[in-house]
Amino acid sequence: MTAPGPLTPMSPPGPRTPGSPDAGRSVAGRMLAVLDAFDASHRSLSLTALARRAGLPLATAHRLVASLTRWGALERDATGAYHIGLRLGEVATLSPRGVGVREAALPFMEDLYEATHENVQLAVRDGLEVVYVELISGHSAVQVRTRVGSRWPLHATGVGLVLLAYGPPRLYERLCARPLRRYTEMTIQDPHRLRATLAEVRRTGIAVSDRQITMDGLSIAAPVRGPRGEVVASLSVVVPAAEGRAPGLIPAVRVAAHGISRTLAAALGQEPVAEASGR
């Protein structure tokens, strides 16, 4: 599934540890460490906390934070705490992999929401995680723990299973090189079971993730393809697990994902490559 739970800022899948020691890092690396100190659980940080989480001496952190604040990557509030600035968000909107797919997907996501009145989500892969780039929330739908920009593991989410199934051949090995994190008793933790699940996703073109993040939600996800047939994103709808609605929603999710794929292909003046099972 794609991470059901409350519509509040989620904690990251694993605890963030302070950055590495300052020695040997470039100025750019230190600046990135400052930005990386922020996450969904740490949206507001004092200078001291920023320095600690970035693994920087206080004086170094003060100098870098001042530069980032002048540029607009950080903003300081009346209490003296720092937040991510709007300028950084403006730069992020230039990413074609997130925003470009989002712009193509939004009309189809809205149609899918109107047809289901359930939570509709769009995600892309970044390393061993999925990043949610758009979310339409239903007022009376099962609550979800995702938000735009949040990250969740590939193995425990519907969109993640799709992106893992159609990802590079060594992605599975990289993911299973470490223990698969458990969220509920339904979370896939056995690599052999995960391999079989991914084969089924490739066979059917659909991932159904049942109660893997919380025990009240289930998601149905389908791949979104680029003009050459490569899977560039995944679309899902999240429903209450107890209602047994998954089979009836599969066609709607599949049609919406295919519509997004066609839009992405049309933007480049191409016809989408037909879907096929396998990689």
pLDDT (tens digit, 9 = 90+) per residue, 209-263? Answer: 888 888 888 899 999 998 888 999 999 998 888 777 778 889 999 999 999 999 8
Give the global pTM. 0.66
pLDDT at position 206? 96
Residue 254 lies in a domain: yes
Neighbours of 266 (CB within 10 A): 13
Residue 279, pLDDT above cutoff 60: no
Q: Are residues 78 and 128 in the same domain?
A: no
User: What does the buried/exposed string (b/e) look like for 135-147 if buried means 16 or more CB atoms within 10 Å of the residue's CB?
Assistant: bbbbeebbbbbbe
Which residue type, as a one-letter code, is found at position 20?
Answer: S
pLDDT at position 93? 58
The region of weakest confidence among 37-41, 119-123, 189-193, 262-266 is 37-41
Contacts of 181 (CB under 8 A, 6+ apart): 13, 14, 153, 155, 156, 187
Residue 125: strand pairing partners: 130
Residue 273, pLDDT above cutoff 60: no
Q: What's the CA gap between 121 and 157, in Å, rounded?
A: 11
The number of helix segments (H) and strand segments (E) in the chain equals 9, 8
Q: Are residues 142 and 77 in the same domain?
A: no
Q: Are residues 127 and 229 in the same domain?
A: yes
Q: Are residues 68 and 103 in the same domain?
A: no
Q: Are residues 116 and 81 in the same domain?
A: no
Q: Are residues 208 and 256 in the same domain?
A: yes
Count of domains in the chain? 2
Contacts of 251 (CB under 8 A, 6+ apart): none
Q: Are residues 81 and 105 in the same domain?
A: no
Residue 18 lies in a domain: no
Q: Are residues 107 and 214 in the same domain?
A: yes
- Tell me how far apart the terminal alpha carbons of the chain are, to the nearest angstrom: 21
Percent of all residues in the chain with a pLDDT value above 90, rounded to a whole number: 39
Instruction: Tell me the longest C-alpha to C-alpha distance in the chain.
Output: 59
Residue 8 lies in a domain: no
CATH of the domain at 65: 1.10.10.10
Domain that holds residue 39: 27-85
Residue 9 lies in a domain: no
Question: What's the chain's Rg over C-alpha atoms?
Answer: 20
